[in-house]
Amino acid sequence: MPIARLARTATALATLSAGGVLLAACGGSTTVNPAIPAAEAALAAGDIECVEGKIQSAGSSAQANAITEWVNVYQTACPDSTIDYQPVGSGAGVEAFVSAQTSFGGTDKPVVEEEMQAARERCANSPAINIPLVGGAIAVAYHIPGVDELTLDPATLAQIFASEITRWDDPAIAASNPGVDLPDAAIAQFHRSDSSGTTANFSDYLEATAPDAWDYDTGKEWTAPGGQGAKGSDQVIASVAQTPNSIGYIELSYILDAINAKPVAIDQGAGPVLPTANNASITLASSEVTGDDGNIVLAIDYTTQVPGAYPISIVTYEIVCTSGLDADQNPELVAQFLAFAASNSGQQLLGEIGYVPLSGDLLEAVRASVETVIQGAGG
């Protein structure tokens, strides 16, 4: 086997296993539990208050790794507590919560209108609220041999993903990248072949920032022409890593340990910004908060001009009862688990595993909402 080929195979395998890193992290370890130091730190900071018992929850798979991390740390600190989160998808998660099978639900989109009414009835007619707890970002990864930095503006990005710009040496790309030697090669564009909230958020972003170039559906299905589909963010990043002259969009965590693939910096007029947890956090903190009485719905400002703000940011919500949860569904444990998630310790954990910690006024609002839930659970 020639060396070049060997190297390529090794790269592919390494990328493949990179997707498995997060899985391995929750698979439990043989000697040292990695959650112990985090649990000790959170206990020392007073961010964890233990409540005995067991709760069931289900919802969005986008936040599954974040919840799993919190559950690990919380259960390590409180051995008598069990929190079960099933990543069944947002729709099924809300359904399970509304039909009182679970103590709380996780969802990519806030629960509104009819569903909110049903959620209220499920909470014995106490208000149900959306609490954004997990921030995230979508990175655009590219792989051009020899090109270490690439900046794109939203319109060019949209045209690439709509297959209107099909070659790397297109003038529109060159304009944002002076001095970069772009190859005379076709753009291999990768998108998600499975239904995905990542696709929905990414196309939402393109529609908001480049309405002239993006004229396709913004749902969970990719509807733009051309490009190649790959299953899951892990396959998209693996395809980008494997295919020279390619580009694709993925959840932030997948760019952290990617090989070959590099993140595209987005320039919306305030200079190029790379996808990092901190940069995305700035966008979330400067986005408008709507909702009342503890219900928090975030209108993410995709067109943000704040310096250093990475615009393709997302947030996922927990839908919870402010009170009225049956005693056997353990409202105290729900409240204390949410309190830990919203604490400094909880949010800090997010940044370490490729999510985006909440900050600023948004985090204050979230903590106020969690306080409402704690009051409701106690009373």
Partner 1 sequence: MSLLTPPKITGSSVRAGDRNFRFITTGAGLTVLAVLAAIAAFLVWQSIPALQENTGNVLTNQLWLPDADPPQWGIAVLIFGTLWTSVIAMAIAVPIGIGTALFITFYAPRRVARTLGFIVDLLAAVPSIIFGLWGLYYFMPEIVPAAQWLSTYLGWIPFFSNDLDLYTKSILIAGFVLAMMILPTVSAISREVFWQVPKGHIEASLALGATRWEMIRMAVLPFSRPGMISAAMLGLGRALGETIAVALILSAVFDINWQITEPGGNSIAANIALKWGEAASNGRSALIATGMVLFFITLLVNMTARWVVNRRREFSGAG
What is the binding site for partner 1 (CB under 8 A)? 5, 8-9, 12-13, 16, 61, 89-91, 166, 185-186, 188, 193-197, 217, 219-223, 225-231, 235, 238-239, 242-243
What distance in Å separates the CA atoms of residue 60 and residue 196, rounded to the nearest whole number?
Answer: 10
Nearest approach, Cβ of residue 273 and partner 1 (Å): 29
Nearer to partner 1, 239 or 279 (CB): 239
CB of 53 to partner 1, least distance (A): 30
Distance CA(34)–CA(344), nearest Å, equals 19
* Burial per residue of 226-239, b for 16 or more beta-carbon CB atoms within 10 angstroms, e otherwise: ebeebebbbbbbbb
343, 42 Cβ separation under 8 angstroms: yes
C-alpha atoms less than 13 angstroms from C-alpha of 319 in its C-beta half-sphere = 34
Name the residue nearer to partner 1 (CB basis): 104 or 222.
222
CB nearer to partner 1: pick between 93 and 376? 93
Asked whether the beta carbons of 141 and 255 are under 8 A apart, the reply is yes
What 3-state class would DSSP assign to 101?
Answer: coil
* Min CB(319)–partner 1 separation in Å: 16
**Residue nearer to partner 1 on the CB measure, 259 or 274:** 259
The alpha-helical segments, DSSP class H, found in the chain are 3-26, 35-44, 64-77, 90-98, 113-122, 154-161, 171-176, 197-209, 232-242, 253-256, 277-285, 331-342, 344-352, 360-378
Structure tokens belonging to residue 48:
């964890």
User: Cβ–Cβ contacts within 10 Å for residue 102, how many?
Assistant: 25
CB-based contact 324:220 (threshold 8 Å)? no
Work out how close the CB of 189 gets to partner 1 at its nearest, in angstroms, rounded to a whole number: 9
Q: Hey, what amino acid is at 26?
A: C
From the CB of 202, what's the least distance to partner 1, in Å?
14
Least distance in Å: CB of 12 to partner 1?
4
Burial group, residue 122, by CB count within 10 angstroms (0-12, 13-18, 19+): buried
Residue 7 or residue 44: which is nearer to partner 1 going by CB?
7
- Between residues 314 and 374, which has the closer beta carbon with respect to partner 1? 314
CB of 196 to partner 1, least distance (A): 6
> Measured from the CB atom, is 8 or 367 closer to partner 1?
8
Among 310, 320, 283, CA closest to 298: 283
Shortest distance (Å) from residue 243 CB to partner 1: 6
CA distance 290 to 367: 15
Question: Judged by CB, which is closer to partner 1: 16, or 50?
Answer: 16
**Helix, strand, or coil (residue 287):** coil
Nearest in space to 176 (alpha carbons), one of 227, 142, 225, 214: 142
Cβ 221 to partner 1 shortest distance, Å: 6
Q: Output 171 or 225, the one with its CB closest to partner 1.
A: 225
